[in-house]
Structure 1
Amino acid sequence: MANSATSYQARKVVFVDGVRTPFGKAKPDGYYAHTRADDLAVKSLRELLRRNPELPPERIDDVIFAATTQQGDQGLTLGRTVALLSGLPNTVPGFALDRMCAGAMTAVTVAAGSIGIGAQDIVVTGGVEHMGNHPMGFDASPNPRFLSEKIVAPDALNMGVTAENLHDKFPHLTKERSDAYAVASQQKYAAAVNAGKISPDLVPVALRNPELGWGLATTDELARPDTTVEGIANLKTPFRVGGKVTAGNASPLTDGATVAVMAGEDTARELGLNVGMRLVSYAFAGVEPEIMGYGPVPSTEKALERAGLSIDDIGLFELNEAFAVQVLSFLDHYGIADDDPRVNEYGGAIAMGHPLASSGVRLMIQLSRQFKEHPEVRYGVTAMCIGLGMGGTVIWENPHHADFAPVTGNE
């Protein structure tokens, strides 16, 4: 059990396991047009519990769920409602949080902090975003001081425009490079699907359409494996006339949910739970809102410094692909090639989608699976840009590496 309040001490924290729904297009004809957001979260949590029978539900200390647009079926203290609807004991509390795209990532780091000091042992973390029913920023009322006092530029609240601003800031990150990166993401994702590396993490979701009847979502809906550079070269640039950001080199609007279990490593080993990876360090950082996509650069620098590591120590990267140029700016800063095989081995959000607050855990699910395939890699990174000018990074250690030292007691 968790240490008493008088004896908190640092503990190793691990990612046990995670699952997600198939990601659907956020449109009236998409998978989840007639499915509630909270039901997507509930379905994910129930499946996660089913896959981890060693986890006693009553040992879960908290349930943290993120959503960016917290209204309707994405509101009402989402963590607690999902816990109750999932059949967890009434003794298990829960809450909701919001850090826009990094909601689920923040749920993980909040849980890690609590577990790390011994206040809790096991926390369920996740995120859900039904962008079809709850568009980003819908019914929000940004304070007029943002513009009247010139705190941000008028276009800083539009994520697509901030991506165009990155192209302006780094002219060598051309549209052609963005398009080529996007096509590669589609191809890597298709190869991962064909190799059976995506489906094991997906939770089948029953669908009901008033006109078509019942169905079952078992695969991501948004991928375009036949995408070519030539095919997306002349797509419209919706954020700027003659711009560089298109639907071909950006993530699509997406519905979906993710969920994961975080635990103290000593507790995981006590219960016989899987140890998918160990959290090493994490950091969030701010940048000018006008270049939101650059956020992962300073957050990664902070996380590396706190871990006593350099970028050369990182053997795998899971970077959220909100926009291709955003990833390219990160790679360019660290001198990593656009096609480096360490980066997004299974493809990324450009291919499979980006349901905002849930994407952080999706990155972790994929990194954990890749760690099993790459025991030669000791450290990996999950990182993403965040609206209003932020970045988030978590560094993980591979338990399959020869130098990994398992916790044998309450260390």
Structure 2
Amino acid sequence: MTALRDVVICSPLRTPVGRLGGSLAGVSAVALATTVLEALVARTGLDPNAVDGVIGAQGYPTMEAPAFGRVAALDAGLPVSATGYQLDRRCGSGLQAVINAAMEVQTGASDLVIALGAESMSNAPLYTVEGRRGIVGAGLMLHDALSRGRETVGGRRFPTPEGNVGAAETLRREYGITREAQDAFALRSHRRAVAAQSAGAFDAELVPVTVPGRRGDTVVDRDEHPRADTSLDSLAALRPILGRSDAAATVTAGNASGQNDAAAAAIVTTPERAAELGLVPMLRLRSWAVAGTDPEHFGVAPVPAANRALERAGLGFADLDVLELNEAFAVQVLACLADWGLDAEDPRLNPRGSGISIGHPIAATGLRMLATLAHELPALDGTLALETMCIGGGQALAAVFERV
């Protein structure tokens, strides 16, 4: 078998992250995806004919853009020769798109692939599965895709009736993590994100989004989720989401990730092809790993996934300059850190914030994190980064990247 080719990541870009029902609510997932793809081509000077395919990650699709990567490619003006498909590994979808693209390039199946992740949680569908069989009784049941996906992600054998929040509270009980520790972590996340935003640290990775309106267009060019006014007092005032069923519950809207809208993309190719096309590589993929756990313990699945990815790269946590661990919940991050023996205030951990502060637009998150860490490494004069996230349903994904 031919040796696997080297893989580099070029020019990861992302849109701003919008709040649920916020500034980007009027923009569909495919429109967000089209915006970031068009910007990627324009900013890099990429020859559209060099694109073999677009891998489109999306967690809450509709049939307005089936085979999401293909539709986004066509809408962005790529030639019909650029193929595309859709994938869903929930919170890990964006990073999985990068890994799938890398495997295509490594094996020679493709020379250049765009990894894409997009989510409009503001436009997640309400749906029925009974409608084609006729209306029986009072009417049709419409399921909310956002809440339903969290209840069914464990399948028939591993039900999760309280969704990811219930699983987060399981970790709180088992690890003995206090509400105060969770709120303190959430405050730190917001402060880091706000500081980065104020310093213009996100500017190079951001693609503005034009939102049409009745009174004219609005240009959104900043993340909407970070809150400069967050304080321990304001976080402590929030009620636990499961407080009615569990008097000891601690997870609130303030110490959990948001529901958000965004898109992100990156070029995945070989160093040689990048040079031919005038592209500037930013990262090299060193290793990756996936792990599975009981769905009730999905929050600590990054522990085995990251351990495997680091072992495959011949590295340890001491070798890392940046650790990007998506903040699905503060309690989940704190549980992972406890297993790794790392301090919650480690400056390498999410230096510019993460899911709690920036937001968690499910399928876009992995590529959003990649765009951020690609710019963090040179700013911190670092070389190695780990990206990892838990995945609802009992999975986690991790990848080690090296600055080029």
1:235 aligns with 238
Q: Judging changes above 3 Å, is the alpha-carbon distance between structure 1 residues 164 and 199 closer, same or farther for their aligned structure 2 residues?
A: same
1:177 aligns with 181
8 Å CA contact 1:161–1:240 kept in 2: the answer is no
Q: Judging changes above 3 Å, is the alpha-carbon distance between structure 1 residues 18 and 198 closer, same or farther for their aligned structure 2 residues?
A: same
Structure 1 residues not aligned, in runs of 5+? 1-6, 400-411
1:194 aligns with 198
Q: CA deviation at 1:213?
A: 3.8
Letter paired with 2:100: V
- Out of 235, 240, 246, the residue aligned to residue 252 of structure 2 is 246
Q: Judging changes above 3 Å, is the alpha-carbon distance between structure 1 residues 146 and 318 closer, same or farther for their aligned structure 2 residues?
A: closer
1:52 aligns with 44
SS in 2 for 1:101: helix
Letter paired with 1:43: T
Asked if 1:277 is matched to 2:283, the reply is yes
2:91 aligns with 101
Q: CA deviation at 1:131?
A: 0.7
Could you tell me the TM-score, scaled by structure 1's length? 0.89
Q: What pairs with 1:4-403 in structure 2 (closer than 5 Å)?
A: 8-27=2-21, 30-53=22-45, 55-73=46-64, 75-134=65-124, 136-137=145-146, 146-147=155-156, 151-155=157-161, 158-171=163-176, 173-210=177-214, 212-241=215-244, 242=247, 243-375=249-381, 377-399=382-404
In 2, distance between residues paired with 1:366 and 1:56? Answer: 25
- What do residues 306-357 of structure 1 show as CA deviations (whole Å, max 9, x unaligned)? 1121222112111111111111112221111111111111111211111001
Letter paired with 2:56: F
- What do residues 208-241 of structure 1 show as CA deviations (whole Å, max 9, x unaligned)? 234x542111111122111111211131111343
Could you tell me the TM-score, scaled by structure 2's length? 0.90
In 1, distance between residues paired with 2:150 and 2:232? Answer: 39
SS in 2 for 1:279: strand
In 1, distance between residues paired with 2:357 and 2:150? Answer: 31
Q: Judging changes above 3 Å, is the alpha-carbon distance between structure 1 residues 143 and 100 closer, same or farther for their aligned structure 2 residues?
A: closer
Letter paired with 1:31: S
Q: Judging changes above 3 Å, is the alpha-carbon distance between structure 1 residues 145 and 291 closer, same or farther for their aligned structure 2 residues?
A: closer
- What do residues 72-112 of structure 1 show as CA deviations (whole Å, max 9, x unaligned)? 44x41111101101011111111111111111110000011
Q: CA deviation at 1:144?
A: 11
SS in 1 for 2:122: coil
- What do residues 143-195 of structure 1 show as CA deviations (whole Å, max 9, x unaligned)? 79945xxx214436x01111111111200x21111100100010011110111
In 1, distance between residues paired with 2:349 and 2:289? Answer: 20
8 Å CA contact 2:27–2:211 kept in 1: the answer is yes
SS in 1 for 2:290: strand
SS in 2 for 1:102: helix
SS in 2 for 1:343: coil
Q: Judging changes above 3 Å, is the alpha-carbon distance between structure 1 residues 34 and 174 closer, same or farther for their aligned structure 2 residues?
A: same
In 1, distance between residues paired with 2:400 and 2:12? Answer: 17
SS in 2 for 1:209: coil
Structure 2 residues not aligned, in runs of 5+? 125-143
Q: CA deviation at 1:374?
A: 2.8
Q: Judging changes above 3 Å, is the alpha-carbon distance between structure 1 residues 288 and 86 closer, same or farther for their aligned structure 2 residues?
A: same
> RMSD of the alignment, in Å?
1.9
